[in-house]
Chain A
Amino acid sequence: MRLHPIAIALILATAASCSWEDDRPVAWERERTVLGPIPLKTQVAYVDSALDRVTLVDLERDDATISHRNIGRRAIHAVPSTDRHVLFVITRGEEAIKRGQIDEAPQFWVVDTQYASVAPVAYAIGSPFDRIAVAPDNSTAIAYFSAAGPDAAGFFRNPNELAVIDLTRPPGPDNPTLKTIRSFGSVPEGIVLSPPMVIRGAPGDMTDSAARTFAFILSSNNLTVLDATHPTRREISIRLDLGGQPVIPREVVFAPNTASAYVRSDHARDVLQVILEASTPAQGSETATANDYRPQLAELGAGGGPTDIAVYDDINNRRYILAATPNTSEVVIIDADTAQFRAVPLADPIDRILLFPAGGRDGSTPRTAPQKALFASIGAKLPRVHVLDLEHINDPLTQASIRKITLDRAVRDVVPVPGRDLAMLVHDDARTVLGLLDMSTESTSPLLGVGKLDSYDFSPNGSYLIGATSNVSRVGFIALDNLHPTDFRLDDPPARVLSSANSKIFVDHGDPLGHATIIPSPTASRAEALVLEGFLTANLLDEGPR
């Protein structure tokens, strides 16, 4: 009897303890991946797959501002638009398995990074795609599967399925259009969307809406052309194989004025020119699926298995293609309109062609027509490069002037400095030994760093090379006018350096909580710099995952 109250109390205590555990929402158990930093115009974006949001660090003003855009579940892939104002994100969604989870379909998101008031737009893409191709004018996007093969998402996977999204129209039952392209046993290894092109002679070619986007789908032994503006129309397959080694298309460059594209493929004999010409649909064919064009193919006379190509327009807006053909020990200059070509002997196995002056960082073309071409043998690791004058190169009476520049070390990589007549030469795989090639004087200058150049960028006007090594808490600058080196001491080791369009330097420290240093300019002092912390977990406690 004396223990009776104690027994009651223990029973109460046990009951209280047993009923104590409440479940934490399953959202906090999500797997988290942070995509980024993704450089935009004057912003830097990160995509959080657990918090389902895009974090934007705006570098426009002196004090960086942080903003967020909510997107769908499980972001898997993100790419910026060519003009770097818009971010495109694929979210794979979620299958509700545990209590608290909500079914969500895969979606393609268009995030306007300039205007916070513009809500992200979601297009239901039906399948868990993991790659995006976007037209240069942001009119069309295609979501597709990478060639990596099946993963955990989905039971079956159709690797040749595409979601063609008309970005000029809101989402709807007919937007995006899901389409499976014909396959001859291969899967897409890449998709390139053309700039707007008008097919002369096609119905309505004189109207404002005549320009359309074409998708060039690259797969082993196949090139597929799809009218992405009219995705319900049948795609056109072009077999590339020659019966020997598989022909793998690698590069596509466009000549929108002539509605043509130039395709370089590994193990191909020539550069393939694909001219899109008007054609009348066959009698009896369904209008909705019939094409009003057909590809006209031409092998442009490289003849030696081009290993790299470059395209430029001369001062008369005439388009030329430069192709390196090591098998014939030549570089070939092809007039894209007439297919006439000129071969220049060059014994080295060239596999990299750069044009100078180079275009801008955002892919913009240079203000003047390229005047020189630089040829390098990256694969063969040769200690020399070659320069070809492009002026009057199409004049058969002018002798081609190609000059050899001998270097101390092998060339492992060549990178053009945007907007400048300069090229950065990388002499070892670890990027510890660099050189700067002045294309005006055709002289080189060595650049010595404290370690491996893990990340680098150029200032927007090409006046500075900005570099960082992951284990050294400094950012290095080289003024490319006089090669004067300076550096900036950081508080923490860098993971990546980026230069924004307004010349600010953004140093990401690789912290999933968000940690970055903003340096206002290459000449700024430490007093002017700012460290941002915790921006990837901002308001984590108040908002949490949705």
Chain B
Amino acid sequence: MMDMRALLATCLVLAATSPADAGNNEVTVGSFTRALRSPSANALTEDSLDGGSFGYARRLPLEVAPRLELWGAATMLFGYADGTTFQTLSTELEVQQYTVGARARYALHRRVVGNARLDLGTARAAVDLRDTEGHSASDSGWGAITTGSLGLELLAIAHRRFSLGFRLDLGYVVASGIELTAKSAGGEEDTLELDRMESSLGHLELGGRFFSFTVLSSF
């Protein structure tokens, strides 16, 4: 919840500090796929992390160079992957990611814009392990995340007050390891349970290359 509030606050600050001209606001909806090939992620899945993203960006009132714009951006991202480990343990991984950052956009053409982006934020990973007889262990945790990408925007509609197009980004995510512990579901909420000592599963590192496709609209 703290992160949601931080994201909303960032959006409001961006909106308040930027000129309110048309084309200074941008919303995005998209999808992404991230190659999870850290040793820890390999333990859970052979698949990539796939999911969707929602973003808002606001042009910053800074004149750096001709045709170069700086934007502040906030992004929510949700990803999911599943797999099988050692042929018997089914695994599920859910990721929520909240980032804020800056993007530089350079107009290559009226309908083609190149961009570079750097985001910082936090990610929550929820892991569930389950065997064929229904035994399960799960846990979730938060970690820091940094995203850098290069992309290309192609605008199908490029009016002065409104534009619509899509963006392709290739980038890399650097993530801190998220410590996870194998916890069983336990009994009903009001059941008195024995003291538990859970063993650490280790640290899950969610970094890796990613590719994203987003539909964007500026207004």
Contact = CB atoms under 8 A, between A and B. Distances in A.
Nearest to B182: A534
A492 B185 CA distance: 11
A511 B131 contact: yes
A537 B137 contact: yes
Contacts of A509: 135
B197 A517 contact: no
11 contacts: A28-B85, A32-B88, A510-B135, A512-B89, A514-B199, A529-B194, A530-B197, A533-B183, A533-B199, A539-B200, A541-B43
B73 to A, nearest CB: 20
B201 A531 contact: no
Given A511-B131, A533-B196, A544 B201 contact: no
A19 to B, nearest CB: 9
B195 interface: yes
B44 to A, nearest CB: 8
Nearest to B111: A5
Contacts of B112: 5
B195 A531 contact: yes
B201 A538 contact: yes
Interface string B1-42: 000000000000000000000000000000001010101101
Contacts of A16: 170, 211
B154 A512 contact: no
Interface stretch (B52-60, B116-124, B202-210): B202-210
B200 A491 contact: no
A17 B32 CA distance: 11
A517 B194 contact: yes
B180 interface: yes
Contacts of A538: 182, 199-201
Contacts of A526: 192, 194
B196 A531 contact: yes
Nearest to A529: B194
Most buried by B among A16, A535, A541: A541
A253 to B, nearest CB: 40
B46 interface: yes
A335 B194 CA distance: 56
A22 B187 CA distance: 40
A533 B198 contact: yes
B196 A13 contact: no
Given A50-B86, A531-B194, A541 B202 contact: yes
Contacts of A22: 35, 37
A6 interface: yes
Interface string A328-363: 000000000000000000000000000000000000
Given A2-B111, A32-B89, A526-B192, 20 more contacts: A12-B170, A13-B211, A17-B211, A20-B211, A28-B46, A29-B87, A30-B86, A32-B86, A513-B137, A531-B196, A532-B197, A534-B198, A534-B199, A534-B201, A535-B199, A537-B199, A541-B203, A544-B39, A544-B42, A544-B43
B163 interface: no
B177 to A, nearest CB: 8
B46 A24 contact: yes
Contacts of A151: none
A531 B39 CA distance: 29
Most buried by B among A20, A526, A532: A20
A530 B213 contact: no
A30 B87 CA distance: 7
A541 B204 contact: yes
A313 B136 CA distance: 52
B201 A537 contact: yes
Nearest to A12: B168
Contacts of A64: 197
A513 B131 contact: yes
B146 interface: no
B197 A540 contact: no
Contacts of B197: 63-64, 530-533
Interface string A20-64: 111011001111100000000000000000100000000000011
B35 A13 contact: no
Given A20-B33, A28-B85, A541 B201 contact: yes
Nearest to A527: B195
B181 A6 contact: no
User: Top 8 A-B pairs ranked by shortest CB distance?
Assistant: A534-B182, A541-B202, A542-B202, A32-B86, A541-B40, A538-B199, A24-B46, A534-B199
A47 to B, nearest CB: 14
Interface string B43-82: 1111010000000000000000000000000000000000
B184 interface: yes
B137 A540 contact: no
A439 B64 CA distance: 98
Contacts of B203: 541-542
Given A12-B152, A22-B37, A533-B183, A540 B195 contact: no
Contacts of B194: 490-491, 517, 526, 529-531
Nearest to A51: B86
B135 A515 contact: yes
Contacts of B164: none
B109 interface: yes
Nearest to B108: A5
B152 A491 contact: no
A31 B129 CA distance: 16
A66 interface: yes
Interface in A456-486: none
Interface string A203-228: 00000000000000000000000000
A490 to B, nearest CB: 8
A242 interface: no
A543 interface: yes
Contact of A20 (B135, B136, B204, B209): B209
A513 B194 CA distance: 18
Given A16-B211, A25-B42, A30-B86, A533 B35 contact: no
Contacts of A430: none
A9 B152 contact: yes
A241 to B, nearest CB: 45
Contacts of B196: 530-533
Contacts of A535: 199
B190 interface: no
B183 A540 contact: no
